[in-house]
Chain A
Amino acid sequence: MRETLVIDQEGVDALIHTLTDRGYEVVGPTVRGQTILYDTITSTDDLPVGITDRQEAGTYRLETRDDGALFGYVVGPQSFRRYLTPPGNVFWKGVLTDDGFETVELPEPPRLAFFGARPCEVAAMQVQDEVYSAVGDPVYLGRRGRSFTVAVNCSEPAPTCFCDSLGTGPGVSNGYDIAMTEVVDGESHYFIAEAGTDEGSEVLALLPSRDPLDEELVHARRMVVRAAERMGRHLDTDGLKEVLYGNIENPYWDEIAKRCLSCTNCTLVCPTCFCSTVEDHLSLDGSEAERARPWDSCFTLDFSYVNGGPVRPSPGPRYRQWLTHKLASWQDQFGSIGCVGCGRCITWCPVGIDITKEAAAIRERDVRRVVVGASSAKEGTE
């Protein structure tokens, strides 16, 4: 087992400085426009100190808290996906030559340190690792492979959180270089920091720290356990793939469609969504071309467009595609469910559509009849 140490706020500052000194661009939570967004940080002053977020379906508000906590909030609308596959990232560049054109090598990706990553964020990156490894995508893998992760365990889940249902939180179990638990207990304010990799140990050793007391370790662990017990929402994943595959023709999808605005918010805030389109750019003289990847969403009409029209012109089938992909077909494609329970799609849906409620509603109205594209799905019950 690797070392576990106690650091204070000065130690957290030293951690940010150490990572910066080692060549990382440290990306962490900051307050921007009354929202917690990720940005480059250089010290704990950049963090949303003493700020908390109040989240519910369709609601997000920042409020102050009086304990000076550095990580006293859950997740904002962005995930680190924004840094691993930046919207509009250029993945190919070419110049005209006498023999057609040739590929221009792209610059080295930045070394990023993901600071303050919640366990669901770490899990989301692991879900995306599978997606992008399957195709060997150099943009994602180039950035991810040289990144450093400082995870922060959760002790105060939002009402929209359901990571406990998916085993992705509230405590982080792997996929981090350093994991911290913030403890604010009356006068004492400290962080239990644990290394998860050799580089994590190396960095941790450079920080001002002390050994933890047994009761501090127990207290920190209990905070995470209590967070699991206070989880705001629940997603029943038992047999969910078969339920969803079997309910493609359930009329309830059209009921959801009456509320869904097809605004794409859920797909843009989702930390695992990976769909992208391609945009071609050409220099004015026509000699240089770039191919860029903006994020795309299965809620747009263009997304499924083939000559003659879109495959999914109605909002019901588009919502069905999104939810069925996340919770069912993702399992066949990448070996895990495509949801980490961060609750962002619930918070940021302008009409408060709730993935946990809709999945449960389909389960309640199970009209299993057709077995869709799933060799493992059970036969009909009609």
Chain B
Amino acid sequence: MRPTARRILSVERELPDTYTLEIEPPGSDWSFLPGQYTMLYAFGIGEVPISISGDPSDATRIVQTIRAAGAVTDALVAKVPGDFVGLRGPYGTAWDTKAGEGRDVLIIAGGIGLAPVRPLVLDVLNHRDRYGNVTLLYGARSPRDLLFADQLQEWRGRFDLEVLITVDQAEQTWRGPVGVVTSLIGRSSFDPDAAVAYVCGPEVMMRFTIQELERKGFSDDRLYVSMERNMKCGIGLCGHCQLGRFFICKDGPVMTCAQMAGSCWIREV
């Protein structure tokens, strides 16, 4: 549990409370898999798990998107280029992209949950010919809360990627759908008997999304979710992140619904 000091290359504000940091990797051989996270340490203040939100094929920077929600994340987003941050990782399991090869791919994100799936979208697009139909469904609270809005625009302009976006509430200027992200599932094209779904967002959003996909015919071994739990160590030592027999920090965060066998949807497990 030794952090190494790494230089911050850039800080960009995404939303009023959400920032993307680019961090200098510890070495040229540093790499990560889509869905993994690092432990970021603000010297003397504390350490938090933050998912990696950048392109896995770009080894020149570690991209991490952080919502300021407490003392440590506040300190992290207040950094400026040239400052230092402590880094450990990458940790955790990855989105299994192999499982999606040769199949339709459905990527569903809610709110800040788009950050941990962005590396997956980028990886799929980097190897676009390996997949069938690729669909990204994204739900945010309001049009102002859309994360990576410029990139979503760019992705929507592609012919080989279907992007559907919904918001919980909007003013009259919004021309897109209003409602929960599950309402987009019926509008997208995929083969439910073979497609693979990758889901990340608030637990309640994932629960209803999984229910809807199971109704459509998805088997639970083709349903991937990224779980959130309290994590202090990232290595299965502190005990906080347990869900059943799993340490979400190392056995997750990405897991299949088959692995969890329904356990994640029981109240207060």
Binding site for B on A (CB under 8 A): 91-92, 94, 96-97, 99-103, 131-132, 134-135, 137, 245, 248-249, 274-278, 280-283, 286, 288-289, 291, 296, 298, 303-308, 311-314, 316-317, 321, 325, 328-329, 332-333, 370-375
By a CB distance below 8 angstroms, the chain B residues around A103 are 2
A372–B5 touching, CB < 8 Å: no
Q: A101-B84, A332-B245 are in contact. List 18 more A-B contacts (CB 8 A).
A: A91-B1, A92-B3, A135-B233, A277-B240, A280-B45, A288-B44, A291-B1, A296-B240, A298-B239, A304-B229, A304-B230, A311-B229, A312-B268, A316-B268, A317-B269, A370-B261, A373-B244, A374-B261
B239–A275 touching, CB < 8 Å: yes
A373–B1 touching, CB < 8 Å: no
Which residues of chain B from 215 to 252 have a CB within 8 Å of any chain A CB? 228-230, 232-233, 235-240, 242-247
B1–A92 touching, CB < 8 Å: yes
B16 within 8 A of A: no
B260 within 8 A of A: yes
Checking B69, B202, B244 against A372 with a beta-carbon cut-off of 8 angstroms, the contacting residue is: B244
B230–A306 touching, CB < 8 Å: yes
B43–A96 touching, CB < 8 Å: yes
B86 within 8 A of A: yes
By a CB distance below 8 angstroms, the chain B residues around A374 are 244-245, 261
Instruction: Give the most central of A249, A280, A288, A308: most B CB within 10 Å.
Output: A280
Q: Output the least CB separation between B233 and chain A (Å).
A: 7
Q: How many residues on B have C-beta within 8 angstroms of the other chain's C-beta atoms?
A: 43
A303–B237 touching, CB < 8 Å: no
Checking B46, B230, B237 against A137 with a beta-carbon cut-off of 8 angstroms, the contacting residue is: B237
Checking A286, A328, A373 against B260 with a beta-carbon cut-off of 8 angstroms, the contacting residue is: A373
Report whether over half of chain A's contact residues are helix, strand or loop; otherwise say mixed: mixed
> How far apart are the CA atoms of A281 and B260 in the complex, in Å?
37
Binding site for A on B (CB under 8 A): 1-3, 5-7, 43-47, 67, 69-70, 84, 86, 202, 228-230, 232-233, 235-240, 242-247, 259-263, 266-269
Checking A99, A101, A278, A282 against B233 with a beta-carbon cut-off of 8 angstroms, the contacting residue is: A278
> How far apart are the CA atoms of A95 and B268 in the complex, in Å?
40
The number of A-B residue pairs with CB atoms under 8 Å apart is 130
Contacts known (A100-B7, A291-B1, A370-B262); A248 close to B269, Cβ less than 8 A:
yes
Question: What are 20 contact pairs spanning A and B, CB under 8 A?
Answer: A92-B1, A94-B3, A94-B86, A99-B5, A132-B237, A135-B236, A274-B237, A278-B232, A280-B46, A289-B44, A291-B1, A296-B240, A306-B229, A306-B230, A307-B67, A307-B69, A307-B70, A308-B202, A329-B244, A375-B261
Q: Output the least CB separation between A146 and chain B (Å).
A: 21
> How far apart are the CA atoms of A260 and B43 in the complex, in Å?
39
> How far apart are the CA atoms of A108 and B266 in the complex, in Å?
45
A277–B262 touching, CB < 8 Å: no
> How far apart are the CA atoms of A102 and B6 in the complex, in Å?
11
Checking B229, B232, B259, B262 against A276 with a beta-carbon cut-off of 8 angstroms, the contacting residue is: B232
- Top 5 closest A-B pairs, CB basis? A100-B5, A373-B244, A282-B44, A275-B239, A100-B84
By a CB distance below 8 angstroms, the chain B residues around A296 are 238-240
Q: Output the least CB separation between A73 and chain B (Å).
A: 31
